[in-house]
Structure 1
Amino acid sequence: METLRKNTALLLLCLGMMGTVQHTTTAQTAVSFQLFYDNLSVHGSWIDDPHYGYVWSPRLGRDFAPYRTNGYWAYTDMGWTWVSDYSWGWAPFHYGRWFYDSYYGWLWVPDTQWGPAWVTWRYYDGYYGWAAIGPGISIDVAFGSSYSVPYNQWVFVRDRDFCRRDVSHYYVRASNNGTYIKKAVVINNIHNGNNGRYNAGPDRGHVQKRIGTAITQVHLKDRDKPGQHMTKSELQLYKPRVEKGNAKKSMPEKFVTRKERGILNNKMEQPKKEAARLPSLNQNTERKEPQRGIIRGQEKPAQREQRAPLPDLRQEQPAPRPVLPRMNTEQPRNNPGNQPLPDLRGTRQEKPHHENKGRRG
């Protein structure tokens, strides 16, 4: 009996050790940047940037901006967390950094640390504001006095509207951002997490006073596959431990360089330029416009042969204009046929017969 008890205890101990080893192995399993390369390729394009390596451009319009478009804030175990309505939002809004490029728009640089949102926070006279932190900027630098973000990249909203699901409808005009930033106070609410330091954003009690109601904390739950799901009391997010890995092995299947992207755009614009050069159908296609910017006498020999000689006005005089006799266009009453009238000058005009009547010679 005692031997049976010992064997049973030994078996239970072995099973417990196996479970512990299996749990530890699962917890230590990490992924590389290849996870980002593969999952985000269908939602945008990867670009080989000379400064940051492979960066990602979402397939969205120019109105898109990180932590501003199609999302909202939820208070979780790690503070204010950005909940994106994009299916790929689990990655670019919780790992890495964003920066704005004048040619491509907003680009995302992958990184290994997970956070609720990589933004810098401000508060001014009833307004909360936030802006994306740029690549290579640590938490300590991002919330220092020397770090600045262009005013048009900030988002400000009244504190009473901060917790709305449709918060994007309540943003103030970007033209007012400059005034708010100059007078705003930095919200420095930094915490130490298992994977590094992060900023939890505005204080929960401060926000509750501004909105006039209690804020329910949402529990963060790990998801076992890429994606996210939000319920009333739980936010499921895929947030694995990421390692950079071997750069030679991890790379996007398809990517373009800045030079190749520029050539592609030039090829796409070339037909438009050629079409603009074609004559209109309402014009005479055989008509040739005169060359401009060429002084006569200074053309090349080939151009002199093509042009027609101009007449020399110094030798040629216009033909004299013939003098035509003046014609009498009036029609006499007793002159049918417009016959020439006799010249009565110098002849004696006899009086009519009735005037001589009654006289004697």
Structure 2
Amino acid sequence: MKRMIKLPAVILGLLLLVTGLTQNAIAQEDDEITLETFYEELAPYGKWTQDPEYGYVWHPNVDQNFRPYYTDGHWTMTEYGNTWVSDYEWGWAPFHYGRWATDRYNQWIWIPDTEWGPAWVSWRSGDDYYGWAPLSPDYQNIGEGGGYDAPLNWWAFIPQISIYSTSYPRYYVRNQGFYNRTAFINYTYRGGNIRRPFYTGPRADDIRRVTRRDVTVYRVSPANRPGRYSFSNNNVSIYRPRVGSGGRGGNNNTPNNQPGRNNNTGSMRPGQPGGFNPGRGNNPNNGRPGRNNNADGQGGQPSGNNNGRGNSSTPAQPGTPNPASGRPEGYTPTRGNDQGQRPARREGFDRTQQMQQQQQRDVQQRQQEMQRQQRDGQQRTQQDQQQMLQRQQQMQQQRAQQEQQRQLRDGQQRGQQDQQRQQQMQQQRAQQDQQRQQQMQQQRAQQDQQQQQQQQQRAQQEQQRQQQQQARPATADPGRGGRGGRGN
């Protein structure tokens, strides 16, 4: 009877053990991601460089109009919240791991990290618009108070009803107006196999209420290889590297004198996990780098290692990636060597030499670039001076030509005015002469007429006088005769 009771208990215990191991394997899926994975997978699509502020960063081969979480992609709702679906072949890494920032040349750079998320962005909502912006590598206070106040030109806005549109244009030119009319969305995702919380953006119910349409919540399923996302029924396949997948994740055991790994993400800064901070101290039992699996700065969790590994507080210096192979200097990944006794290969030394040669080439390229910039600056200065001198000469010539034309024009105007005045004077003199002649003729005619009238008057007067004289003797003769008759 006791054996019959004990048998189901043993079976139940085995089931619980298997279930626990499976869940632990899922929870530790991202624990085995190293930066070597990113180096190898992203090397064909961009360039790894050393940034003075963030360390080793990745520059994608894109045009100057590229913006993360904006160019060639769209949003979709998954079990983790709003998830960015990129159209780039390399989109599985920079939009779900690490952070984005701009360098001193105002170009976008990606700072790697090993924590997965649907999208590392901050969200805003208001006035019928949604907005989002990439989280800076320096921002680690997700879910504590307000959201991340990203630079204004990092924000993108879209009408709420078009949040899941694959072709609707997004605005970032008029960000000031949109930003002032919106507020932060502070919904976060915690728990499960996610160690670091992230902002989820607007909830599915909120979007259903705004769009008045059903919102499909997709389930994230792992893809077998890097590449674009694929949708099948209610699943979206996103590539997430696992341990042992083509050697991308390396091996759990680290050979002697090889860089170890730190998974303490609470105080860890993006761009500095894994291969960036090799070996947080050595274990005195076997001389190997220790490993810390504490998440979010929560200590006291066992690492599950039985080979005597431990943690040391002595920090080590970051390694240097080999641009030729896309891996940190001195990192020799093991494949299937459970005891970690694989000797160091010549490859590490060759990589060091290659790294030194690459650094020398980089220095020469920077010097050549500086010389080119100086030469270009001098040429631009000379060109500006020549152009200024030419402009001055042209202006002087133009002024001289304008002055000459003005003088010629003034001379022509004066000549025309003199000619017009002479013509006017001649016309006036001719008119005056004509008027004088007419007046003189009229005066002479009047004088002649007056003389004729005077002559006529004199003739009439003379005639009248003669008539009077003739009339007087005729009157006197009869008188004389009468007196004579009386005398007879």
Q: TM-score range by the shorter chain?
A: 0.5 to 0.7
Match of 2:478? none
CA separation of 1:18 and 1:213: change in aligned 2, threshold 3 A: closer
Whichever residue aligns with residue 225 of structure 1, its letter is: R
CA separation of 1:143 and 1:37: change in aligned 2, threshold 3 A: farther
Match of 1:301? none
Match of 1:263? 367
TM-score, normalised to structure 2, is 0.48
Task: Write out per-residue CA displacement over residues 113-133 of structure 1, whole angstroms, 9 at most, x where no aligned residue.
Answer: 111100000012001000001
Match of 2:238? 237
CA distance in 2, matches of 1:103, 1:259: 18
> 2:87·2:229 contact (CA, 8 Å) conserved in 1?
no
> 1:159·1:207 contact (CA, 8 Å) conserved in 2?
yes
Match of 1:81? 83
Residue 253 of structure 1 pairs with residue 254 of structure 2: no
The equivalent position to 2:101 in structure 1, one of 99, 102, 109, is: 99
Q: How far off is 1:101 after superposition?
A: 1.9
Unaligned regions of 5+ residues in structure 2, if any? Answer: 1-7, 243-248, 250-262, 264-272, 279-318, 325-357, 384-488
CA distance in 1, matches of 2:125, 2:277: 44
Match of 1:171? 170
Which region of structure 1 is more displaced relative to structure 2, 117-126 or 104-113? 104-113
Match of 1:115? 117
Match of 2:133? 131
CA separation of 1:220 and 1:179: change in aligned 2, threshold 3 A: same
CA separation of 1:175 and 1:237: change in aligned 2, threshold 3 A: closer
Match of 1:319? none
CA separation of 1:125 and 1:254: change in aligned 2, threshold 3 A: same
Match of 2:223? 223
Task: Write out per-residue CA displacement over residues 3-24 of structure 1, whole angstroms, 9 at most, x where no aligned residue.
Answer: xxxxxx9xx99x9899779858
> 2:223·2:239 contact (CA, 8 Å) conserved in 1?
yes
TM-score, normalised to structure 1, is 0.63
CA distance in 1, matches of 2:152, 2:381: 41
Alignment map for 1:1-361 (pairs within 5 Å)? 27=26, 28=28, 30-103=32-105, 105-140=107-142, 144=146, 147-167=148-168, 170-172=169-171, 174-193=172-191, 194-195=193-194, 196-232=196-232, 233-240=234-241, 244-247=273-276, 251-254=320-323, 262-266=366-370
CA distance in 2, matches of 1:163, 1:263: 47
Match of 1:330? none
CA separation of 1:51 and 1:274: change in aligned 2, threshold 3 A: closer
CA separation of 1:104 and 1:35: change in aligned 2, threshold 3 A: farther
Whichever residue aligns with residue 184 of structure 2, its letter is: V
CA distance in 1, matches of 2:88, 2:144: 26
> 1:133·1:142 contact (CA, 8 Å) conserved in 2?
no
- 1:213 partner SS: coil
Q: How far off is 1:165 after superposition?
A: 1.4
Task: Write out per-residue CA displacement over residues 118-155 of structure 1, whole angstroms, 9 at most, x where no aligned residue.
Answer: 0000012001000001012124378626x422211110
Q: How far off is 1:54 after superposition?
A: 0.5
CA distance in 2, matches of 1:140, 1:25: 25
Q: How far off is 1:56 after superposition?
A: 0.5
Which region of structure 1 is more displaced relative to structure 2, 233-242 or 34-43? 233-242
The percent of aligned pairs where both chains have the same amino acid is 33
> 2:142·2:198 contact (CA, 8 Å) conserved in 1?
no
More helix by share: 2
CA distance in 2, matches of 1:157, 1:103: 27
Match of 1:348? none
Whichever residue aligns with residue 138 of structure 1, its letter is: Q
Whichever residue aligns with residue 157 of structure 1, its letter is: I
CA separation of 1:213 and 1:38: change in aligned 2, threshold 3 A: same
> 1:229·1:237 contact (CA, 8 Å) conserved in 2?
yes
CA distance in 2, matches of 1:215, 1:271: 58
> 2:133·2:150 contact (CA, 8 Å) conserved in 1?
yes
Q: How far off is 1:226 after superposition?
A: 2.8
> 1:154·1:177 contact (CA, 8 Å) conserved in 2?
yes
> 1:45·1:58 contact (CA, 8 Å) conserved in 2?
yes
- 2:89 partner SS: coil
Unaligned regions of 5+ residues in structure 1, if any? Answer: 1-8, 280-361
CA separation of 1:40 and 1:251: change in aligned 2, threshold 3 A: farther
- 2:322 partner SS: coil
CA distance in 1, matches of 2:364, 2:79: 44
Task: Write out per-residue CA displacement over residues 165-218 of structure 1, whole angstroms, 9 at most, x where no aligned residue.
Answer: 123xx213x342112212311111112032221111101111112222101111
CA distance in 1, matches of 2:42, 2:144: 27
Task: Write out per-residue CA displacement over residues 239-290 of structure 1, whole angstroms, 9 at most, x where no aligned residue.
Answer: 24785334376653318889666435346668867988999xxxxxxxxxxx
Number of residues paired by the alignment? 269
CA distance in 1, matches of 2:382, 2:134: 46
Q: How far off is 1:88 after superposition?
A: 0.3
Structure with bigger RCO (C-alpha 8 Å, 6+ apart): 1
